[in-house]
């Protein structure tokens, strides 16, 4: 049976790496993102059937229409990789523009919900072996300064994944919250609105995760025997751990 992965945020980072990883195993791909040039280039790099769609996951109507218009050969989706997301405003909460909070909520929460809702009937029809892999973050579990709405949005991803599992009991559809730690992608460049030095400084002198590391986890989860569901995977590089509690002193 042909396997099809639907990947949001496929134009960079984890999504692009996942496209290459799943293609390596012969999966057909539905790739979505906002940057059509990158999607076209990615399609050229892959040797499997690929359907691309320029899509902003925040637009519920556009998501519904895109899913409804999937060509027959791409319609029986096996795995949904809810990867589209971003962090903004690493400053403290009192210094952040409200619009940045709204953008994170609209993308990380509303966008994920839009795509999941649109594809649920398809995934339920696929049944045993179908997977929903929601990309969360360690920020959804472990707070840190400057995480404010980003961390809260990823906590939503975790709890939504758990609750979705309850509602999908008996359908055969699996749900996983995949939560990476520090990973060297465009994440920090986006978060700092193009500050390359801030991105370079974050990863300098350590060994972060790579996009390929997370893509490997995605493929592993989606390829498990049908009777196995991994509820949550939290992945940190060996060189990352927790800090002591902060204490305000006189």
Q: Which of 150, 162, 203, 220 is catalytic?
A: 150
Query: Token digits for 98?
Result: 């409200």
Determine whether 150 is an active site residue. yes
Residue corresponding to tokens 């990615």: 42
Element (H, E) at 5: strand 4-7
Identify the bridge partners of residue 80 per DSSP, sorted by sequence position.
6, 132
Which segments within 128-231 are labelled E, that is strand? Answer: 131-135, 174-180
The b-or-e profile of 178-200 (16+ CB within 10 A means b, else e) is bbbbbbbbebbbbbbeeeeeebe
Contacts of 110 (CB under 8 A, 6+ apart): 57, 58, 60
Give me the half-sphere count of Cα atoms (radius 13 Å) on the Cβ side of residue 118. Answer: 25
Residues with catalytic function: 150
């Amino acid at each position: 049976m042909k396997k099809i992965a639907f990947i949001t945020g496929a134009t960079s980072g984890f999504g692009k790496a996942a496209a290459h990883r799943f293609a390596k195993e012969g999966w057909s791909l539905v790739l979505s993102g906002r940057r059509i040039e990158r999607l076209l280039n990615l399609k050229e790099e892959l040797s499997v059937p690929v359907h691309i769609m320029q899509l902003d996951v925040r637009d519920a109507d556009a998501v519904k229409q895109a899913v409804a218009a999937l060509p027959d050969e791409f319609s029986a989706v096996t795995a949904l990789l809810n990867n589209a997301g971003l962090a903004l405003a690493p400053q403290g909460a009192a210094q952040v523009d409200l619009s940045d909070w709204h953008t994170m909520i609209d993308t990380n929460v509303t966008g994920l919900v839009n795509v999941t809702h649109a594809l649920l009937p398809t995934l339920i029809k696929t049944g045993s072996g179908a997977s929903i892999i929601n990309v969360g973050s360690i920020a959804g579990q472990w707070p840190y300064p400057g995480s404010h709405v980003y961390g809260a949005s990823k906590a939503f991803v975790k709890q939504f994944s758990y609750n979705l599992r309850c509602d999908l009991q008996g359908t055969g559809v699996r749900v996983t919250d995949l939560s990476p730690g520090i990973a060297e992608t465009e994440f920090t460049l986006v978060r700092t609105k193009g500050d390359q030095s801030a991105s370079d400084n974050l990863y300098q002198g350590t060994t972060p995760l790579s996009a390929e590391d997370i893509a490997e986890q995605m493929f592993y989860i989606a390829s498990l025997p049908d009777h196995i569901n991994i509820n949550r995977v939290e992945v940190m590089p060996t060189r990352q751990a927790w800090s002591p509690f902060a204490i305000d002193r006189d």
